[in-house]
Structure 1
Amino acid sequence: MLIGGAEQPDGSTPMLLARSRHAARLTTPRSTVSSRRFPTAAQPHVRAFAEILTTRSGQHLKDWITATRADDLPGLHTFATGLEKDWDAVVQGLTTCWNSGAVEGRVNHIKMVKRQMFGLAKLPLLRKRVLLTATRPLAQPVTTTGHVR
């Protein structure tokens, strides 16, 4: 399920910022993808997939899968097969700016309330706490200077 993220003043979305924040690591010569973890033949494919992720160019995914299958890389073949099993959802996730961040945050909050109340009360009180806290916005992120963004 995909849910839209709020657009930032600069026109980008939070999910895109989170992914592109590390894009520089993928293009530097001394990358996080070291030859000890991936065969040399896999590195261009991993970088190309990272580029598809950061630029939201899901329309190029079929070309990436074709190029990956041309090489003898069983790990990437398995990954590509998994992508093809839910093709429509994968392409939508790689092309649109919608994400499920708000839902995931709310679910995380509900689980936290449930853990806090474990063994203390039954379902009616848990339900009231969850409903009361659902009307409040989640905590605002704080910058390094201590100011709320």
Structure 2
Amino acid sequence: MADDARSTFTLRASRELLDRLKSEADAHSHSVNAEIIQRLETSFDDALLPTPRPEQFRHTFWEIQALDDAIKSALSVLNEVETEYSTPGWCLENRTQASDDFRESVHTKLSDLRSLRRGKQDYFMKIGGPYIPEPAMHRKERQS
């Protein structure tokens, strides 16, 4: 019984590429042919993604920048709290449940902001934008 819906052709590829395809096919528990078909179909699916409009690109970029500003602000507040906790003469009796709760809420907010930013960054890169590094925490130097 002939399968008229399929065609056969020869594919010339380097040994290294074939080895990589075999390895991936084994990892996904299917044939090399199925791996090649899946990868080709995915490449066409990605080509069908809508081309981002310039305003969409700019909007996403500015959303990332706004999240970066919020992250910097949260890091600054957290840095001030950590600096206060490490001030000479500051004792544990001064530390209250409210201050610990505030510190924890800043940590939680920072985590939420970073998670939201990762999502925006992934989308930005998907529509063709470059990777934008997240602001890092810079601890203030303790003065002796």
What TM-score does the superposition give when structure 1 sets the normalisation length?
0.25
Q: Which structure is higher in helix share?
A: 2
Name which one, 1 or 2, has greater alpha-carbon Rg.
2
